[in-house]
Amino acid sequence: MNRRDFVATSLNVAGVAAAGALTSPLSPALAHAMTAPLANDTTAPRATRKILIAGGGFRTKFIAYMAQLTGKTRPRICFLPTASADSPQSAIGFYQACAPLNVEPFVQNVFIESLSQTQGWDEVLLSADAIVCSGGNTLNQQAIWKAQGIDVVLRQAWDRGIVLGGASAGSLCWFEEGTTDSRPKALSIVKCLGFLKGSHSPHYDAEAGRRPLYHKLIGSGEMKPGYACDNDAGIYFEDNEVKRVVHTRAEARVYHVSVVNGQVVEKVMQPEMI
C-alpha cells in the first residue's frame, strides 16, 4: 500500500469509529469526563465560601442559622471540639443545641487512634454540610490541626462551600490573628488559619481585659484591624465580605476596630436578631 492509500484508509477508519461513538451510548464515567469542567477552566462556577461566627454562645439559634445557610433540608453538621480537648461535655452541649432542629449532628474527635478511626479527615469533614468548631484553647487547636493536616482539609471545605463557624476559639480560628487566653498569665496574640483577613476578638463584653488589649494592639500596629464580637453576637461572611451582622440577645453588639488618623476607632455594627 502506498502512502496516499494508507492515509486515506486511516482517515476512513477514524471516521467510522467516530460515527459509531456518536451513535453508541456513552458510559456514565465517559459522559462525566466529557462534561466536567477542566481543572484550569476559569469559567467554572466556584462555591460561595461561608463562615458564621459568634463572640460566644454558638447555640441553637446560631446553629439553626448555619443550617439555613447550607441550603439543605436536613444538613449534616459536624462538631469539631479540638480546642476543648474533645471534651465530652462540649459534645453533649452541641447535641443538646441541635436537638430542636432538623439537622443530622455528629462529632469528630481528634484524640483518636487508627484502629477505630478508619476514615481520613477529608472523608469525614468533606462529607459534612457545615462544621462547628468548639471554644477552648485556640493555640492548642491550631497546633493539632496543623500537625494532623486538618487545617488543609478545612480550607478545602471552605472552598467547597461547606459552612464553617463557631464561637470563641471556634470564631477566632478562621482569622489571621486575634487575642487569646491560651497561654499562662495574660491575654496574648495567636496566629490562626487566615481564611478571614484581619483580626478578631471574641468575648468582647464578657471579659474585662479584651477591649483594652484589642485597642492597644491595633493602635500600636502589632495587630491588624478587625472585628470584635460580644457574646451572643456574630457575623456571617461570604468570602471576606460581611453579609450580615446578627445576635440572639438584644444588648449584644459587633464592632469593627481600626486606626483612623492615628487614633483607634471602634465602630458599632448594629446586628439583626435571629
Per-residue pLDDT of the chain (274 residues; tens, 9 = 90+): 444 443 344 434 344 333 443 333 444 333 433 334 443 444 446 899 999 999 999 999 999 999 999 999 999 999 999 999 999 999 999 999 999 999 999 999 999 988 998 999 999 999 999 999 999 999 999 999 999 999 999 999 999 999 999 999 999 999 999 988 888 877 878 899 999 999 999 999 998 889 999 999 999 999 999 999 999 999 999 999 999 999 999 999 999 999 999 999 999 998 999 9
Q: Is 182 a catalytic residue?
A: no
User: Catalytic: which of 134, 168, 171, 201?
Assistant: 168
- Which pLDDT does position 1 carry in this prediction? 47
Residue 45: per-residue pLDDT? 65
- Tell me if residue 96 falls in helix, strand or coil: helix
Beta carbons within 8 Å of 75's beta carbon, 6+ residues apart: 67, 103, 104, 129, 130
Could you confirm whether 114 is annotated as catalytic? Answer: no
Eight-class DSSP state of 201: E
The active-site residue out of 84, 182, 203, 247 is 203
pLDDT value of position 41: 43
Angle CA 254–256–261, to nearest 5: 150
Report the predicted TM-score, pTM, of the whole model to 2 decimal places: 0.82
* Predicted local distance difference test score (pLDDT) of residue 178: 93
Report the distance separating Cα 95 and Cα 241, nearest Å. 30
SS3 state at 85:
coil
Question: Of all helices (H) and strands (E), which one includes residue 31?
Answer: helix 28-35
- Looking at residue 181, what is its pLDDT? 81
CA distance 210 to 243: 25
Q: What cell numbers appear for 100 in the block? A: 430542636
